[in-house]
Structure 1
Amino acid sequence: MKPECEEAPSLPPTLGLALAMLIIGTVGAFATEAGLDPVTTVFWRCVFATIFLGTWCFARGHLPDRSLSCWGLAIATLGGVCMVLSWVAFFAGFAMTTIATTTIVYHIQPFFVVLFGILFLKERVTLFQLMWMFGAFLGVVLASGVTATPLSISERWFSGIGLTLVAALLYAVATILAKQLRAQRPEVTAFCQTLAGIILLVPFAGTSIPPASWGWLIGIGVLHTGIAYVLMYASYPRLSTPAIGVLTFIYPLVAILIDWSIYDHALGWSQGVGLVLIVISTLGFKLGWRVPLRASQSA
Structure 2
Amino acid sequence: MNSVSGSGVFLLSAALSAIFMGTIGAISFYAGAGAETVTFYRLFIGALLVAVYLLATRQHSKVLIWPGAKVLVTGAFLAGFVMFYILAMGYTSMANAVMVMYLAPVTASVIAHFFLGERLTTASVGLIGLALLGFAMMMEFNFNLSGRAEEAIGLAYALCAMLCYVAFMLTNRMIDDRIHVVTRSGYQMLAGALCMLPLMLREGEAIAAAQWSWLIAAGVIPGFLAIMLAVIALRSLPAATFGTLAYLEPITVVALAWVLFDQTLNGLQLSGCALIILAGIAQALLLNRRPLPERAVPVTSLAGFSAAIPCAPQTAPPRQHRCETGPH
Name the TM-score class by shorter chain: 0.7 to 0.9
Which protein, 1 or 2, shows the higher relative CO under an 8 Å CA cutoff with sep ≥ 6? Answer: 1
Query: Structure 2-normalised TM-score?
Result: 0.78
Structure 1 residue runs of 4 or more that deviate by more than 6 Å after TM superposition? 149-153
Q: Give CA deviations for 1:117-142 in whole Å, capped at 9, x if unaligned.
A: 21221111111111111111221232
CA offset at residue 96 of structure 1? 0.7
Report which stretch shifted further, 220-229 or 54-63.
54-63
Q: Contact between 1:34 and 1:217, CA under 8 Å: does it hold in 2?
A: yes
Q: Contact between 1:43 and 1:202, CA under 8 Å: does it hold in 2?
A: yes
CA offset at residue 82 of structure 1? 0.3
Letter paired with 1:218: I
Letter paired with 1:49: G
Q: Hey, what does 2:226 align to over in structure 1? A: 228
Percentage identity across aligned positions? Answer: 23
Of 121, 140, 156, 2:150 maps to 156
Of 25, 30, 36, 1:39 maps to 36
Q: Hey, what does 1:178 align to over in structure 2? A: 172
Asked whether 1:28 is paired with 2:22, we answer no
Letter paired with 1:164: A
Query: Structure 1-normalised TM-score?
Result: 0.85
Gaps of 5+ in 1: 1-8, 290-299
Q: Contact between 1:62 and 1:188, CA under 8 Å: does it hold in 2?
A: no
Q: Contact between 1:68 and 1:184, CA under 8 Å: does it hold in 2?
A: no
Of 94, 111, 115, 2:110 maps to 115
Q: Equivalences for 1:7-86 in 2 at 5 Å?
A: 12-65=9-62, 68=65, 72-86=67-81
Q: Hey, what does 1:218 align to over in structure 2? A: 216
Give SS of 1:125's match: coil
CA offset at residue 201 of structure 1? 1.5
Give SS of 1:96's match: coil
Gaps of 5+ in 2: 1-5, 288-328
Q: Hey, what does 2:324 align to over in structure 1? A: none
Letter paired with 1:159: I
Find the aligned partners of 2:162 and 2:232 in 1 and give their Cα distance: 24
Change (3 A) 1:168 1:19: same
Give SS of 2:60's match: coil
CA offset at residue 146 of structure 1? 5.3
Q: Hey, what does 1:3 align to over in structure 2? A: none
Q: Hey, what does 1:240 align to over in structure 2? A: 238
Q: Contact between 2:247 and 2:281, CA under 8 Å: does it hold in 1?
A: no
Give SS of 1:239's match: coil
Q: Contact between 2:140 and 2:268, CA under 8 Å: does it hold in 1?
A: no
Q: Give CA deviations for 1:23-68 in whole Å, capped at 9, x if unaligned.
A: 1222110011111111111011122112111111222344334995
CA offset at residue 278 of structure 1? 0.7
Q: Hey, what does 2:290 align to over in structure 1? A: none
Find the aligned partners of 1:146 and 1:156 in 2 and give their Cα distance: 17
Q: Contact between 1:96 and 1:156, CA under 8 Å: does it hold in 2?
A: yes
Find the aligned partners of 1:197 and 1:243 in 2 and give their Cα distance: 29
RMSD: 2.5
Q: Hey, what does 2:267 align to over in structure 1? A: 269
Find the aligned partners of 1:18 and 1:195 in 2 and give their Cα distance: 26
Which structure carries more helix by proportion? Answer: 1
Q: Equivalences for 1:129-168 in 2 at 5 Å?
A: 129-143=124-138, 145=139, 147=141, 154-168=148-162
Change (3 A) 1:177 1:67: farther
Larger gyration radius, structure 1 or structure 2: 1
Give SS of 1:265's match: coil
Q: Hey, what does 2:88 align to over in structure 1? A: 93
